[in-house]
């Protein structure tokens, strides 16, 4: 039914009590007569709802101290969310449920069904299953859907989603709405049916980083997955990585969850299993009038987990393998370089040069500090005044100092050299040789394994790259020493992960 969105209100699931939401007028709901809520855990102004009758959206802002919810998910306090018709609000998480209703004045809206179950019918109209189960891990970083009739198998036929099993109906690169999809290749359903008949388990592994906190997107995407499975007409298990965690391909997180807990304890026969994906590192014109692949993450995902890899054209259409470009940095082939001789036996200032993620701070703390160098970082001290005072105090006490800043250009290095000269102390430059792509790998690894670390974006790395000036002896250095990156691991699983491809290109 098409909604004209002339009226919007909240309808209590239990009492059918209505709370009107006028066009673009904020309405605060909570513990009051209008909602019928008397729960002391709910404040009088617990949520703020603003309806837009033109777009059929409701902007929801959380105000109260007790957590609220939507569609079974907890809402983060002091956040704003975009909701739509049929979304269910829990004023207090798990309690006081209200549905969002948009309807025309002369055509009341029917109550929308939940998305937790659906009917799946094959092309022959034979009923396969009438329900499936959605699960979420790590705060919705990973969504999993399993049809009730999806059985564990040793042979796995794994697929990417967009550009592999489906494509946009509109022809746009990204779908315009949850209904903007069709089969990528006409033979996809038939091919999957044959795999299923031969004893393969069909599994989908997909990245979808745009779902975030917009519950209308999450709900719409779930419905889209269910519709796709209905079209495919075979039992399927679906893994969706929604964030930037270890679950996002090419990292192996989704595969690890699958083999450890989502295949009924049945061991995988790698020789009989494979993965099909469209992001394969192919360059422009890999086939006539074909653009380059946006990334190589599908090929790298298969490589990381040990599966044979095919592109959709190879698997569904029988195309020969197309040339592809592998990443410049290969974590499987780490350098065997060793650190050079470091200490000189006399007082000095060492100026580090290297971007975030180059291993600069690791080197300082693990190899210079144990040799008696005082570790000085403006990031920790804050102001330049505090920084220079500590540097001068250390030099006055005849201590050697290592300056752990990025120091990309001559100007940033010169002020430290000048302090050393005033104190008549030699100044050496230690420059990290870690490549740009190796740095990006380090940062991605750190973000996966240590969630206390703040993310470092490409803007920071590119700013350093743009500002970088190669250190020269003429700046006043007594020596320039190149320092390689040498990783150190506290856990065996961290070393295993580090030696996998973690970047998407």
CATH of the domain at 252: 3.40.50.1000
pLDDT score, position 505: 86
CATH number at residue 472: 3.40.50.300
User: Does any domain span residue 324?
Assistant: no
Burial class of 269 by CB neighbour count within 10 A (0 to 12, 13 to 18, 19+): exposed
User: Does any domain span residue 287?
Assistant: yes
Cβ neighbours of residue 28 closer than 8 Å, sequence gap 6 or more: 44, 45, 46, 47, 48, 49, 63
Of 164, 312, 161, 304, residue with least CA distance to 242: 161
For residues 188 and 294, membership in a common domain is answered with: yes
Number of domains in the chain: 3
Cβ neighbours of residue 50 closer than 8 Å, sequence gap 6 or more: 21, 24, 25, 26, 27, 58, 59, 61
User: Does any domain span residue 341?
Assistant: no
User: Does any domain span residue 1?
Assistant: no
Pair of tokens at residue 98: 């209200």
Half-sphere exposure of 137 (CA within 13 A, CB side): 18
User: Does any domain span residue 2?
Assistant: no
For residues 94 and 194, membership in a common domain is answered with: no
Of 497, 382, 482, residue with least CA distance to 432: 482
Boundary-marking domain end, from 299, 317, 335: 317
Of 139, 246, 233, 222, residue with least CA distance to 194: 233
Boundary-marking domain end, from 275, 301, 317: 317
Please count the other Cβ atoms lying within 10 Å of the Cβ belonging to residue 153: 20
The SS3 assignment for 389 reads: helix
For residues 356 and 487, membership in a common domain is answered with: yes
The SS3 assignment for 257 reads: helix
pLDDT score, position 381: 62
For residues 307 and 169, membership in a common domain is answered with: yes
For residues 96 and 128, membership in a common domain is answered with: no
pLDDT score, position 108: 55
Q: How far apart are CA 494 and CA 135, in angstroms?
A: 26
For residues 99 and 124, membership in a common domain is answered with: no
Domain that residue 130 falls in: 120-317
For residues 297 and 205, membership in a common domain is answered with: yes
Helix (H) or strand (E) holding 378: helix 378-381
pLDDT score, position 116: 32
For residues 299 and 402, membership in a common domain is answered with: no
Q: How far apart are CA 349 and CA 339, in angstroms?
A: 18
CATH number at residue 12: 2.60.200.20
For residues 161 and 281, membership in a common domain is answered with: yes
Contact in structure between 103 and 109 (CB atoms under 8 Å): yes
Pair of tokens at residue 369: 């500090």
pTM of the full structure: 0.71
Q: How far apart are CA 499 and CA 334, in angstroms?
A: 8
Residue with tokens 């059929």: 56
Tell me how long the chain is.
Answer: 505
Burial class of 410 by CB neighbour count within 10 A (0 to 12, 13 to 18, 19+): middle
Mean pLDDT, each 10-residue run in order, the chain (505 residues): 69 91 94 91 94 92 88 77 88 88 69 33 38 88 93 97 91 83 86 94 92 75 91 93 93 97 96 97 87 95 97 91 94 85 84 93 90 83 75 90 92 91 93 94 91 74 90 95 91 94 93
User: Does any domain span residue 327?
Assistant: no
pLDDT score, position 126: 39
User: Does any domain span residue 338?
Assistant: no
For residues 168 and 283, membership in a common domain is answered with: yes
Peptide bond into 250 cis (omega under 30): yes
The SS3 assignment for 70 reads: strand
pLDDT score, position 217: 82
Pair of tokens at residue 350: 């060492």
For residues 128 and 73, membership in a common domain is answered with: no
Instruction: Report phi then psi at 228, rounded to 5.
Output: -65, -45
For residues 268 and 137, membership in a common domain is answered with: yes
User: Does any domain span residue 160?
Assistant: yes
Boundary-marking domain end, from 47, 71, 103: 103
Half-sphere exposure of 113 (CA within 13 A, CB side): 6
């Amino acid at each position: 039914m098409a909604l004209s969105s002339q009226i919007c209100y909240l309808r209590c699931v239990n009492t059918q009590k209505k709370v009107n939401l006028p066009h673009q007028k904020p309405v605060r709901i909570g513990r009051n007569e209008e909602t019928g809520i008397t729960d002391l855990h709910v404040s009088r102004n617990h949520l703020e709802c603003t309806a837009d009758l033109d777009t059929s959206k409701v902007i929801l802002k959380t105000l109260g101290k007790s957590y609220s919810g939507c569609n079974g998910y907890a809402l983060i306090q002091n956040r704003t969310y975009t909701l739509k018709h049929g979304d269910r609000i829990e004023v207090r998480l798990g309690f006081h449920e209200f549905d969002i209703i948009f309807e025309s004045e002369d055509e009341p809206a029917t109550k929308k069904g939940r998305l937790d179950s659906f009917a799946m019918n094959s092309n022959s109209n034979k009923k396969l299953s009438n329900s499936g189960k959605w699960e979420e891990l790590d705060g919705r970083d990973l969504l999993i859907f399993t049809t009730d009739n999806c059985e564990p198998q040793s042979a796995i036929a794994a697929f990417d989603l967009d550009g592999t099993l489906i494509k946009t109906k509109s022809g746009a690169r990204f779908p315009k709405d949850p209904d903007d999809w069709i089969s990528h290749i006409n033979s996809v359903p038939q091919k999957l049916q044959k795999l299923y008949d031969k004893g393969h388990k069909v599994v989908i592994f997909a990245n979808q980083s745009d779902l975030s906190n917009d519950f209308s997107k999450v709900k719409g995407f779930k419905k889209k997955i269910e519709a796709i499975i209905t079209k495919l007409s075979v039992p399927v298990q679906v893994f969706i990585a929604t964030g930037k965690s270890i679950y996002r391909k090419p990292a192996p997180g989704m595969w690890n969850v699958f083999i450890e807990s989502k295949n009924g304890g049945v061991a995988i026969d790698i020789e009989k299993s494979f993965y099909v994906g469209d992001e394969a590192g192919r360059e422009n014109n890999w086939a006539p009038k074909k653009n380059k692949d946006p990334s190589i993450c599908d090929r790298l995902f298969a490589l990381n987990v040990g599966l044979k890899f095919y592109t959709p054209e190879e698997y569904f259409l029988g195309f020969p393998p197309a040339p592809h470009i592998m990443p410049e940095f290969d974590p499987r082939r780490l350098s065997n370089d060793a650190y050079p001789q470091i200490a000189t036996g006399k007082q000095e200032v060492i100026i580090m040069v290297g971007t975030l993620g180059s291993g600069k701070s690791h080197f300082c703390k693990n190899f210079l500090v144990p040799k008696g160098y005082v570790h000085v970082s403006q990031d920790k001290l804050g102001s330049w005044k505090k920084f220079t005072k500590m540097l001068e105090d250390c030099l006055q006490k005849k201590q050697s100092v290592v300056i752990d800043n990025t120091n990309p250009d001559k100007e940033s290095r010169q002020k430290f050299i000048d302090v050393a000269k005033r104190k008549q102390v030699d100044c050496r430059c230690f420059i990290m040789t870690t490549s740009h792509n190796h740095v990006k790998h380090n940062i991605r690894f750190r973000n996966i394994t240590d969630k206390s670390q703040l993310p470092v974006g490409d803007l920071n790395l590119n700013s350093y790259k743009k500002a970088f000036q190669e250190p020269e002896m003429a700046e006043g250095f007594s020596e320039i020493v190149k320092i390689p990156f040498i990783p150190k691991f506290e856990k065996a699983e961290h070393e295993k992960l580090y030696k996998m491809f973690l970047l998407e290109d």
